Structure 1
């Protein structure tokens, strides 16, 4: 029985610009977060005594990465003292002035490019083939050029691009699971998607540090152990967290708030348990309300947070009395629901502990709200559900 243990990460995006906040201080903090997340990966290499490290593309940002960062990389990669395999991604392609071409990398670093896509390490009985980017956009890769698995070796395929995204995604090396599996490699170390996708031996580890509000949840990398016995290779992949911050998208429906104080309390309750420095928050106010408020004034309540953005998507509340009198479909609808609601509320007065009646009143109130919304806009906003992209 033979075993091989390594760390698989991708999409680190060193020196990412982080322009969404607009402040240099925030951008500097977040770029340092990325470096810290990567250091966590390197520390894990030593902690678990991994044989090598795999970085499946978008290691750095070609347009923003500085020589200072490259000097730092040389230092930390030299110290890790295990082989490091890297493929270029669409954010750090193997173009003419790429750091992959022009930089003097440490001896333990192996760049798998179009010029040298394959490497064999006899010490580990390891064969690694890389499919990366040589430009910022590339179409479907020609997998017929991939060398067959080597008998008696652990065979790893590194790939950066889209997997199973259909015909609508053609700019980032689209392939299918069946196409990759037909290559018969032991493990497929993928990169490009910033969220985890783990299917047996085909894994996207996601980004070690989340980079935007479409990357919620924990982020990290994988400890992968390949075990070869009786001509069969088994995969064990264990996720570990590396991220320093976490993005949160919250939606607060203030339809039933009767005062500004109640609205503020609802906001505070929504973010309860979050940390001012660790958690990055984008909060959206929704619903229909008669309350008048200054969104900037409310935002100032959270000025000591590293990142807190508040957006107002509320609408003016319906005037039910006026609508009920109108000779329209909306008027007839309001009149019908309110009459039903009056009957139920009268029954509740006589039987205040009746949960069925209370539930019926709640359903009628919701029907009135959502029904008017549908008649007004032609759609229903399901408040409370996180719908932002």
Structure 2
């Protein structure tokens, strides 16, 4: 069985510079993840929380998520502490397609992925620090048992009876024998390290997991001509607010839905340089 894992995308997060372009890149990254799931023949997509930011999530993001996950692959979502499940959460408001399963309970609950393979998932049901859902948990069935949640990992996952835990919250990737933190798939801050991305996990009959990491970051596809700087982007929020030719140019490019992230970056970089040289 192949499961495509990601976590900590943080849609609608705030960036100090180039906010609109960076937030669009996060959406494009999710599109790449779903495309990869379908192209790789994954049996399911797993999101281990912090898919979006509850306090900043816009109605357009809710619509985007509904459309993005309307695909041929089952999708399992375990809300984290930044996208916690509650009455006003996107998880409750969106009319998800039948292939999407949102874990809504504050304790690990089971879903059968296949004969003899169980996925235990849980949700943060309110704001606050990340929890250790595995603390005190014990598997009560045979077969291969996997967990999906947002929080910390115990020193020994196997004492719970689980074969493997797929986890979010830690942004630095960590691939251990019995747990996986994929890290955030698209950079959120300069200087992030580790082999991050979407992790294609092959679950074997004995419960062991082998992994392959795929770089799905749309932000890294931006070409601004200054590769030595992590995010050498101008402050597009301020530029777009200008009542100038430059401001109108930025607004038009950001609003052009025909441009993907890489092309939008190249158009902005080339156009802004040209305007500066006029």
TM-score normalised according to structure 1 size? 0.55
CA RMSD of aligned residues (A): 2.8
Quote the Cα distance in structure 1 between the aligned partners of 2:130 and 2:106.
18
Q: What is aligned with 1:233?
A: 207
In the TM superposition, residue 186 of structure 1 has moved relative to its aligned partner by: 1.8
What are the Cα deviations for residues 83-131 of structure 1, in whole angstroms up to 9, with x where unaligned? Answer: 1111111110113311122322221111112267423236454311123
Consecutive unaligned residues of structure 1, counting only runs of 5 or more, are 164-175, 247-273, 284-304, 309-389
Paired position in structure 1 for 2:233: 306
For 2:123 and 2:27, locate their aligned partners in 1 and report how far apart those are by CA, in whole Å: 22
Residue 177 of structure 1: aligned partner: 155
1:16 aligns with 2:16: no
User: CA offsets, 1:184-229, max 9 Å, x none?
Assistant: 212210100112111123110001101012424653110000111x
Cα 1:122/1:10, change in 2 over 3 Å: closer
d(CA) in 1 for partners of 2:48, 2:180: 11
Counterpart of 1:159? 149
For residues 33-78 of structure 1, the C-alpha deviation after alignment (integer angstroms, 9 at most, x for no partner) is 1111111111111111010010000011111111212112111211
Deviation >3 Å, runs of 4+ = 122-125, 138-147, 216-219, 277-280
Change (3 A) 1:306 1:199: same
Correspondence for 1:128? 119
The structure, 1 or 2, with the larger RCO (C-alpha pairs under 8 Å, 6+ apart) is 2
Q: TM-score, normalised by structure 2?
A: 0.75
In 2: Cα distance, 1:120 partner to 1:74 partner: 21
Where in structure 2 are there 5+ consecutive unaligned residues?
Answer: 236-278
Alignment match, 2:94: 103
Name the CA distance, whole Å, in 1 between partners of 2:224 and 2:46: 34
CA contact (8 A) 1:226 1:235 kept: yes
Alpha-carbon spacing, 1:27–1:280, altered in 2? closer, same or farther (3 Å): farther
Q: 1:28 to 1:135 in 2, by over 3 A?
A: same
| Higher-Rg member (1/2) | 1
CA gap 1:149/1:279 in 2 versus in 1, 3 angstroms: farther
Higher share of residues assigned strand: 1
CA distance in 2, matches of 1:157, 1:278: 41
Aligned to 2:29: 37
With 68-77 and 216-225 compared, the bigger mean Cα shift is at 216-225
